[in-house]
């Protein structure tokens, strides 16, 4: 392969709903560029993109795939992404490094939920997009209806660059508005014949060309002047205007293709290589300390690792984008995270599991390498003379959780190692070793997502596992003031144990002053505050420890032991063993023994006094509540709201957005188990949702009673 310069390198990410044909289009693009000499297909399980066994078995992409093709004397990096929301992490990491999205629309269905998911991420990354309506050869293809759904979703910036003459089973002709030619394809696809537009199509073609010219001129003042002076633009001027429009997301040109028959693919590549902006046309990349690093091949070298995979017999493969400078074979760079040197003994241009060896790669290009010592996704590697880091990829919050454990006792360490490797390959798989719940909690984007994780554990790592219901991280707190005292006394020959602690507890409210007067046993009692400690708890909330000991009833050296006893009970709350929070404790009296008092005695006395007071202080169990946002087609909105209400949801609002209805609701985490599966069933896979932690809220009384009974039964069993 020749060495391409930055302005001759284009990086696109294929986006769209499952079934829109991204993998098939990638195959045709590689074939058109001569990277492969035979097109594979999904049914035959031999495509470049879907190279993993699990993808071939399911005939669906689950991981992003990095490829390239060469066309029109330029290199096009192609990042194929999964269409299912469960595997959206591949689209997010690809969008982080690609310059432009190529959104595929199924001509049978128009804009689908997966399209909307990906277009939202495009907006988040502020990346331009080209749209292609695929499956124009299908007998149920409806190009016009699909285009209308695109306009509804993407707005008035959407403009036709092509339209099919005969969409359907006989599809073979496209009117190209930029070229103002009819492209007629042979039956087996490939290179078309460019002929004059038929008379019956000319009026529509001219009308669309005028719209396209106006849209192209809108984004450039100098072009707007030329437009008015010359009553139009030349083809080159139009391309220039479209490039500017793409950069500003002011134009979304729409093409039509049949990826399966390889019709329109070469023309699409021609447009990408001629018009889609290269990396050097974009703003400089900002580092974590706000330095601006331009895509400049003459600058010091810096790269960003956006993807890591593990291949048998090879090990880890790191995929990276060169942000600045050039990377040559044998070069040493410093990993910002570890501050260790990494040698790039080999550099490749990947296409699926295949790789083309390179000697050099420059700013704006994408490549991969193997046998790095300690480099993974989100790492920045730089020339030894510079010191900066690029921001990490912001992956979506998890939406599904389950607990996992090995079937065979003793496989815990093996399971942990395997899960960490799977997280490295897919950062949206999050592994939590919960001391609180005493479970390994696996977080992901959906039930299907985590089922695929389990498949890899069973088949690739030979660790047989089982999913079990995840426990809920409840919190315990109190709602009123209570007093208790406890004497710990133990005598077993020789020195014994003795400690007595009197304390008062009350709910902690931010900015509330410590009290100095309490009613104890029906009598008002004034206490004197000697010292105060405020402890931020790792699980949220606070413990305030107020020392009110006067007259030496408890020696100051025993106060840390009392505090330790309180903290132990905060870590294992008196009601359900959950973490306790937001409590203020006043230790105001006690007794010591000159011989038998020691730290263990006061720790146990403090712990038991706290537990007794807690149960008399209006104890309350708090549950985690999440803010859930659902995008659903209007015809299924009622069903979705009904299901949410059955999950104790409190609907916060409803609105229309991009052809969907948006429902926002607060839902307890305990009710979100397997919600992704339920939502898919209710809407036939046409809805999507996101969730993020919002607050802890009191559980209903009947649920609290049920939780208390369950915990008591568990304690009795133990």
Q: Is the pLDDT of residue 435 over 80?
A: yes
User: E-strand spans in 608-668?
Assistant: 620-632, 650-657, 660-668
DSSP secondary structure string for all residues of 81-93: ---SGGGTHHHHH
Q: Determine the Cα–Cα distance for residues 20 and 83; give it in Å rounded to an integer.
A: 8
Q: Determine the Cα–Cα distance for residues 697 and 649; give it in Å rounded to an integer.
A: 12
Poorest-pLDDT segment among 96-100, 180-184, 207-211:
207-211
Average pLDDT for 113-136? 93
Q: Determine the Cα–Cα distance for residues 151 and 681; give it in Å rounded to an integer.
A: 28
Tokens at 256, concatenated: 């039509």
Same structural domain, 50 and 16? yes
Q: Is the pLDDT of residue 277 over 90?
A: yes
Per-residue model confidence (pLDDT) at position 525: 85
Same structural domain, 533 and 549? yes
Per-residue model confidence (pLDDT) at position 59: 86
Residue 644's pLDDT band (cuts 50, 70, 90): very high
Phi-psi region of 552 (alpha: psi -120 to 50; beta: other; left: phi over 0): left
pTM of the model: 0.86
The string of pLDDT tens digits covering residues 544-555 is 999 999 888 999
Residue 470 falls within a domain, yes or no?
no
- Angstrom CA distances, 475 to 167, 423, 483, 704, stand at 60, 28, 21, 12
Average pLDDT for 469-475? 94
Q: Determine the Cα–Cα distance for residues 554 and 402; give it in Å rounded to an integer.
A: 47
Same structural domain, 459 and 530? no
| 8 Å CB contact between 678 and 401 | no
Residue 469 falls within a domain, yes or no?
no
Same structural domain, 332 and 272? no
Residue 557 falls within a domain, yes or no?
yes
Q: Which residues pair with 15 in a beta bridge?
A: 103
CATH number at residue 597: 3.30.230.10
| 8 Å CB contact between 17 and 114 | yes
Same structural domain, 364 and 408? no
- Angstrom CA distances, 512 to 24, 508, 516, stand at 64, 8, 12
Poorest-pLDDT segment among 100-109, 224-233, 706-715:
224-233
Average pLDDT for 459-481? 94
Average pLDDT for 679-690? 86
Average pLDDT for 136-158? 94
Same structural domain, 607 and 684? no
The residues near 551 (Cβ < 8 Å, ≥ 6 apart) are none
Tell me the torsion sign for CA atoms 607, 610, 614, 620: negative
The string of pLDDT tens digits covering residues 562-621 is 999 999 999 999 999 999 999 999 999 999 998 888 999 999 999 999 999 999 999 999
Give the residue from 320, 349, 382 where a domain finishes: 382
What ranges in 107-197 are assigned the alpha helix state H? Answer: 113-125, 143-154
Enclosing domain of residue 421? 403-463
The string of pLDDT tens digits covering residues 406-432 is 999 889 999 999 999 999 999 999 999
Q: Is the pLDDT of residue 658 over 70?
A: no
Same structural domain, 193 and 124? yes
Average pLDDT for 512-522? 87
Q: Is the pLDDT of residue 493 over 90?
A: no
Instruction: Give me the sheet containing 158-160, strands edge to edge.
Output: 65-71, 74-80, 9-15, 100-106, 129-134, 252-256, 158-160
| 8 Å CB contact between 505 and 545 | no
Residue 681 falls within a domain, yes or no?
yes
Residue 222's pLDDT band (cuts 50, 70, 90): confident
Residue 117's pLDDT band (cuts 50, 70, 90): confident
Average pLDDT for 491-495? 72
The residues near 341 (Cβ < 8 Å, ≥ 6 apart) are 332, 333, 334, 335, 384
Residue 217's pLDDT band (cuts 50, 70, 90): confident
SS3 1: coil
Tokens at 421, concatenated: 């490797």
Q: Which residues pair with 692 in a beta bridge?
A: 627
Q: Determine the Cα–Cα distance for residues 197 and 177; give it in Å rounded to an integer.
A: 10
Mean pLDDT of all residues belonging to the chain:
93
CATH number at residue 59: 3.40.50.300
Question: Can you tell me which residue has the tokens 């932690």?
Answer: 693
Q: Is the pLDDT of residue 319 over 80?
A: yes
The string of pLDDT tens digits covering residues 321-331 is 999 999 999 99
Per-residue model confidence (pLDDT) at position 23: 95
The residues near 712 (Cβ < 8 Å, ≥ 6 apart) are none
Instruction: Give me the sheet containing 430-434, strands edge to edge.
Output: 430-434, 439-444, 400-406, 465-468
Domain count, the chain: 5
Residue 241 falls within a domain, yes or no?
no
Q: Determine the Cα–Cα distance for residues 239 and 369; give it in Å rounded to an integer.
A: 36
DSSP secondary structure string for all residues of 434-468: ETTTTEEEEEES-HHHHHHHHHHHHHTS---EEEE
Same structural domain, 261 and 125? yes
Q: Determine the Cα–Cα distance for residues 203 and 181; give it in Å rounded to an integer.
A: 13
| 8 Å CB contact between 422 and 440 | no
Residue 324 falls within a domain, yes or no?
yes
Residue 151 falls within a domain, yes or no?
yes
Residue 224 falls within a domain, yes or no?
no
Same structural domain, 556 and 432? no
Same structural domain, 612 and 626? no
Per-residue model confidence (pLDDT) at position 266: 96
Same structural domain, 181 and 254? yes
Same structural domain, 501 and 649? no
Question: Can you tell me which residue has the tokens 């712990």?
Answer: 607
> Please, what is the Cα angle at 201 between 200 and 202, to 5 degrees?
100
């Amino acid at each position: 392969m020749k060495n391409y310069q930055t302005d001759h390198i284009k990086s696109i990410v294929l986006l769209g709903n499952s079934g829109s044909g991204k993998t098939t289009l990638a195959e045709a693009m590689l074939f058109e560029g001569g990277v492969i000499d035979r097109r594979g297909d999904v049914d035959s399980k031999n495509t470049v993109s879907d190279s993993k066994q699990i993808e071939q078995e399911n005939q669906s992409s689950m991981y992003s795939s990095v490829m390239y093709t060469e066309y029109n004397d330029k290199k096009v990096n192609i990042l194929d992404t999964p269409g299912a929301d469960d595997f959206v992490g591949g689209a997010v990491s690809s969008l982080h490094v690609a310059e432009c999205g190529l959104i595929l629309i199924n001509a049978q269905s128009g804009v689908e939920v997966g399209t909307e998911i990906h277009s939202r991420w495009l907006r988040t990354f502020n990346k331009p997009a080209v749209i292609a309506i695929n499956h124009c050869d299908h007998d149920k293809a409806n190009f016009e209806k699909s285009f209308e759904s695109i306009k509804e979703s993407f707005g008035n910036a959407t403009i036709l660059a092509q339209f099919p003459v005969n969409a359907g089973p006989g599809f073979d002709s496209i009117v190209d508005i930029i070229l103002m030619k009819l492209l007629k394809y042979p039956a087996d696809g490939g290179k078309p014949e460019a002929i004059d537009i038929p008379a019956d199509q000319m009026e529509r073609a001219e009308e669309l060309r005028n719209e396209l010219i106006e849209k192209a001129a809108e984004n450039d003042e100098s072009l707007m002047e030329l437009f008015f002076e010359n009553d139009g633009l030349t083809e080159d001027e139009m391309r220039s205007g479209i490039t500017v429009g793409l950069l500003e997301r002011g134009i979304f040109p729409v093409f039509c293709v049949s990826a399966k028959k390889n019709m329109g693919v070469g023309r699409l590549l021609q447009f990408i290589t001629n018009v889609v902006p290269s990396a050097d046309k974009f703003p400089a990349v900002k580092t974590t300390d706000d330095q601006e690093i331009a895509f400049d091949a003459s600058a010091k070298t810096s790269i960003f690792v956006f993807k890591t995979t593990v291949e048998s017999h090879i090990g880890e493969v790191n995929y990276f984008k060169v942000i600045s400078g050039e990377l040559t074979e044998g070069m040493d760079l410093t990993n910002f995270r570890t501050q260790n040197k990494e040698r790039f003994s080999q550099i490749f241009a990947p296409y699926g599991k295949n790789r083309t060896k390179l000697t050099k790669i420059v700013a704006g290009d994408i490549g991969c390498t193997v046998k790095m010592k300690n480099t993974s996704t989100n790492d920045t590697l730089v020339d030894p003379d510079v010191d900066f880091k690029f921001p990490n990829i912001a992956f979506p919050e998890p939406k599904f959780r389950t607990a996992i454990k090995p079937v065979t006792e003793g496989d815990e360490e093996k399971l942990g190692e395997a899960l960490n490797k799977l997280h490295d390959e897919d950062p949206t798989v999050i592994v939590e070793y919960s001391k609180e719940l005493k479970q390994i909690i696996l977080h992901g984007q959906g039930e299907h997502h985590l089922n695929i994780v389990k498949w890899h554990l069973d088949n690739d790592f030979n660790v047989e596992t089982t999913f079990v219901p995840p426990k809920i991280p409840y919190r315990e707190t109190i709602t009123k003031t209570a007093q208790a005292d406890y004497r710990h006394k133990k005598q077993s020959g020789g020195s014994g144990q003795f400690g007595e602690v009197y304390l008062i507890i009350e709910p902690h409210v931010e900015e509330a002053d410590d009290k100095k007067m309490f009613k104890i046993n029906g009598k008002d009692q004034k206490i004197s505050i000697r010292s105060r400690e405020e402890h931020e708890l790792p699980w949220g909330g606070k413990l305030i420890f107020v020392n009110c000991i006067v007259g030496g009833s408890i020696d100051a050296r025993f106060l840390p032991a009392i505090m330790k006893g309180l903290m132990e009970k905060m870590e294992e709350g008196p009601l359900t063993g959950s973490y306790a929070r937001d409590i203020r404790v006043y230790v105001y009296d006690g007794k010591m023994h000159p011989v038998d008092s020691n730290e263990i005695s006061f720790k146990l006395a403090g712990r038991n006094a706290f537990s007794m007071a807690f149960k008399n202080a209006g104890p309350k169990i708090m549950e985690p509540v999440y803010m859930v946002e659902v995008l659903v087609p209007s015809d299924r909105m009622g069903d979705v709201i009904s299901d949410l209400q059955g999950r104790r949801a409190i609907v916060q609002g409803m609105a229309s957005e991009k052809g969907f209805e948006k429902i926002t609701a607060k839902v307890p985490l305990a009710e979100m188990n397997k919600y992704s599966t339920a939502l898919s069933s209710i809407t036939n896979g046409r809805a999507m949702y996101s969730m993020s932690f919002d607050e802890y809220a009191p559980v209903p009384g009947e649920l609290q009673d049920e939780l208390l009974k369950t915990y008591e039964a568990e304690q009795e069993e133990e």
